[in-house]
Structure 1
Amino acid sequence: MTVKPTTIYLVRHGETEWNVTKRFQGHLDSELTALGRNQALWLGESLAGTPIDAVYASSSARTMATAALIAQGSGRHMHVEPCDEFKEINLGLWEGMEIEEAKGQDPVQFQRFWEEPDAFRVEGSETFREVAERASAKLSELLTRHAGQSVLIVTHTVVVKVLMAFFEGREMNDIWQPPYIHPTCLSHIEIVEDYPNIILHGDTSHFREESEEAS
């Protein structure tokens, strides 16, 4: 008997105001830009004919807004369940800080964030491993709950990276290797008998000419 795969569509939120001004967001939030809203609508349009049984999003406003716009673009109503487990890494005192300011204040931790994420920690922050543990635990729960179904998860860069590392068996210190996780990029994973088959990783084929500046 053929086992129906469990399908995961993993998406980063659309471009935000703080993405443009190069600030760390973490658990803080900023509004989607006009481009960010369009990115989500374009992705929704590209998924219009794709079966989706359930939608989950980080409980942050930017991810919930992205999920709602994906639903709008797809032309259907989709209930979005908020999940704290899929929130971005809590960056403690770096939250809301300009990236260059954080680099100047603590170059050692800044270097670790990008090159040795397993060693990163600043005051009040989570570690990358803590993010991976909470996000992968929730993902495992959803894989059981929605076995044989298709699930859309809208989340953040670090969460996308650690969850894709979970599927790839990638080491924590290697998570920043390509592909780059652009706003609303799509990763598509099919799981059969606990074996993940990565169909897409960081795909941006739904982007239109307007979005090239955001890349």
Structure 2
Amino acid sequence: MDLQRPALLVLVRHAESARNQAKKGSVYFADDAARQVVRGVPDHLVELTEDGHKQAVQTGQGIRARFGTFDYVYTSGYTRTEQTAEGILSAYSPAERARMRCKSDLFIRERDPGFAYDMTTAEAEAAFPWLNEYWQTFGGFMARPPGGESLADVTGRVHTFLNGLFQDRAGQRVMIVTHGGALRCFRFLLEGWSYSQAQRWPEGQAPANCGVTTYRCAGDGGPLQLEDYNQVYWTVGSAADGI
């Protein structure tokens, strides 16, 4: 029976970025001093930290040992995912890398954070005093940050990406380097989550930097099934939350 989806799908969250380090898992910056290093850098140009580069290299060693080569490697095109992919692929020989096609796809980029992107907590609360109540009402999957996207919005474009992937990469081995928010949308679609499941990560289950989530297609051509979630292969830095 011909497979109608990839045989192997490996999702990797990007390694630690400069904004991860500066925000320390918070929604906004704690104060002006915390944001100075990355202030004014647009989201798609945020780079990895020194530890982030090390995380990516160590993750590549683990991925190569476990999975071998891939047919395709996708990134969101954001600097932090491209740098992460480059670190992962450094574990492979030139001949192995030559067999793997690399592509970027804007449909798997992180959610647009909106107008509060560079704000401190105090600034965001002053500018959007209604936001907390609104967020509590609609929840973390449906609510949109001012000027930005909800995760439900992101799910729409991830769905489009998966439709193309299932058609074009059926039976192939695929690795995707993406973002924490997009990863939740992938899980919503691939695992058939309810809206309530998608509202927030369960306690202690937010994806780690370079966390590896694996799906395999059943041998009879059945759906992709979750093999494991958030496997970590690195031993440096910190598993920062956030995007």
> What range describes the TM-score normalised by the shorter chain of this pair?
0.7 to 0.9
Asked which structure has the greater CA Rg, the reply is 2
- RMSD after superposition: 2.8
The residue identity in structure 2 corresponding to 1:59 is: G
After TM superposition, give the deviation of residue 108 of structure 1 in Å: 5.1
Distance 1:82 1:122 in 2: 25
- Show the counterpart of 1:35: 51
* Cα distance, 1:213 vs structure 2: 6.8
The alpha carbon displacement at 1:127 in A equals 2.1
CA shift in 2, pair 1:101/1:171, >3 Å: farther
Q: Is 2:168 the partner of 1:141?
A: no
2:142·2:152 contact (CA, 8 Å) conserved in 1? no
The alignment-based identity, stated in percent, is 25
- Structure-2 change in CA distance of 1:99 and 1:58 (3 Å): farther
Instruction: Quote the Cα distance in structure 2 between the aligned partners of 1:26 and 1:188.
Output: 30
Q: For residues 56 and 213 of structure 1, do their structure 2 counterparts lie closer, same or farther at Cα, with a shift above 3 Å needed?
A: closer
Is the 1:27–1:89 Cα contact (8 Å) retained in structure 2?
Answer: no
Letter in 1 for 2:20: N
Q: What does residue range 127-206 of structure 1 map to in structure 2 within 5 Å? A: 127-175=150-198, 176-178=200-202, 179-192=205-218, 193-204=221-232, 206=233
TM-score, normalised to structure 2's length?
A: 0.76
Instruction: Provide the rounded CA distance (Å) in 1 between the counterparts of 2:144 and 2:240.
Output: 29
Which among 78, 85, 100 is matched to residue 107 of structure 2? 85
> Which of the numbers 70, 73, 97 marks the counterpart of 2:119?
97
1:181 maps to amino acid: P
Task: Name structure 1 gaps, 5 residues minimum.
Answer: none
Q: Are the equivalent residues in 1 in contact too, given 2:12–2:210 (CA < 8 A)? A: yes
Judged with a 3 Å threshold, the aligned counterparts in structure 2 of structure 1 residues 162 and 214 are, in CA distance, closer, same or farther, namely closer
Cα distance per residue 1:94-153 (max 9 Å; x no partner):
22334665456446535728x812331233212221100101210221122111111011
Q: Distance in 2 between matches of 1:191 and 1:166?
A: 15
For residues 14 and 122 of structure 2, the distance between their equivalents in structure 1, rounded to whole angstroms, comes to 22
